[in-house]
Amino acid sequence: MQMRDTGLGFSPITIGLHWLIAAAVSVMVWLGLSAGQMDAGAAKAELIAMHSTLGTVLFVVAAYRLWARLTSYHPLPVGTPNPIEVMISRSVAVALALAPVLLPLDGWLAMSAAGDVVRLPGGIALPAIVGLNPEVEYVARLLHKIGAYAFLAGLALHIFGAMKNHFVLKNDTLKRMLGKRVEL
């Protein structure tokens, strides 16, 4: 079994992590948007706790995925792509791999500065990065919100590119990300 990406294709590990992270990010976005619409209270705190827990798990998985992405060959594009589109798609892909590593760290910083604790299953609590500091909290929450919306914009570009490849260019890029072996 192919354990690392090559110039010809993605490894099954990369494909699995891609879809696992996609599912986790979908839940994270839903939790974050839902909590943002609620008034302060126990229900909002529970959503934020689930968002934080999933963010911590996502951080670990995404950190490995980012390392693998940066240390492996990226497969060649399928078909005859426009070089500008290749540069844009690869930039978006690296940004999408980097965001699930940076956003949880920023969330942890914001919670620490607010005096909140990131609790994990099993009663494990992450130590605070900084002490109580309203200014740091404000900046970290603002950066988290901006980063989340920038991530969603990059995700929209990523999905647009996948749909363009599948429906307009009619190549096998999407099939390759579903684990099929394709000809370049």
Q: What are 110-146's pLDDT values in tens digits?
A: 999 999 988 887 888 999 999 999 999 999 999 999 9
Domain count, the chain: 1
162's tokens: 């996948």
In angstroms, the Cα distances linking 62 to 57, 80, 82 are: 9, 30, 29
**Structural domain boundaries enclosing 35:** 12-177
2 domain-assigned: no
173 domain-assigned: yes
Q: What are 81-108's pLDDT values in tens digits?
A: 889 999 999 999 999 999 999 999 999 9
16 domain-assigned: yes
48 domain-assigned: yes
| Per-residue model confidence (pLDDT) at position 1 | 66
1 domain-assigned: no
6 domain-assigned: no
**Residues near 99 by Cβ (< 8 Å), separated by ≥ 6?**
147, 150, 151, 154
65 domain-assigned: yes
46 domain-assigned: yes
Question: For every residue of 97-136, which 3-state class applies, written as one string?
Answer: HHHHHHHHHHHHHHHHHCCCCEEECCCEEECCCCCCCHHH
Q: What are 139-184's pLDDT values in tens digits?
A: 999 999 999 999 999 999 999 999 999 999 999 888 888 888 777 6
